Amino acid sequence: MLYPDPSVLVRSITNIEHPDVDAVAVRAIAATLPNDPRLIEQAVLTRLVPYSYDWQTNGVPWYFPNTVEVIRSKRGDCESRAVLLASILKAKGIPFQILMSFDHIWVDYPGKQANALENKDVALAQRVNGRYVWFWPKDFHLGAEINAQLATFWTPMPIARKGLFFGGLLMLLLINPVARRRWRSCGLDERGRLLGAPGRASRSVLSGRTPRAVVGPVRPGCEI
Q: The domain that contains 55 carries what CATH number?
A: 3.10.620
Q: Which of 114, 130, 154 is the last residue of a domain?
A: 154
Q: Which of 154, 177, 203 is the last residue of a domain?
A: 154
Banded model confidence at residue 212, pLDDT cuts 50, 70, 90: very low
Give 132's strand partners: 127
If asked whether residues 113 and 24 sit together in one domain, one would say: yes
Q: What is the CA radius of gyration of the chain?
A: 27
Q: What is the pTM of this model?
A: 0.76
If asked whether residues 163 and 213 sit together in one domain, one would say: yes
If asked whether residues 216 and 110 sit together in one domain, one would say: no
- Give the count of beta carbons closer than 10 Å to the beta carbon of residue 59: 15
If asked whether residues 76 and 101 sit together in one domain, one would say: yes
If asked whether residues 141 and 214 sit together in one domain, one would say: no
Window from 110-114, 172-176, 191-195, 202-206 with minimum mean pLDDT: 202-206
67 is in which domain, residue-wise? 6-154
Q: In what order do the strands lie in the sheet with 125-128?
A: 105-108, 97-100, 125-128, 131-134
Is 25 domain-assigned? yes
Q: How far apart are CA 118 and CA 107, in angstroms?
A: 9
Average pLDDT over residues 122-145: 93
CA 174 to chain CA centroid, Å, is 26
Q: How far apart are CA 53 and CA 37, in angstroms?
A: 25
Q: How far apart are CA 157 and CA 2, in angstroms?
A: 10
pLDDT above 60: residue 125 = yes
Q: Which of 97, 122, 154 is the last residue of a domain?
A: 154
Domain count, the chain: 2
Model confidence pLDDT, tens digit, residues 3-55: 999 999 999 999 999 999 999 999 999 999 999 999 999 999 999 999 999 99
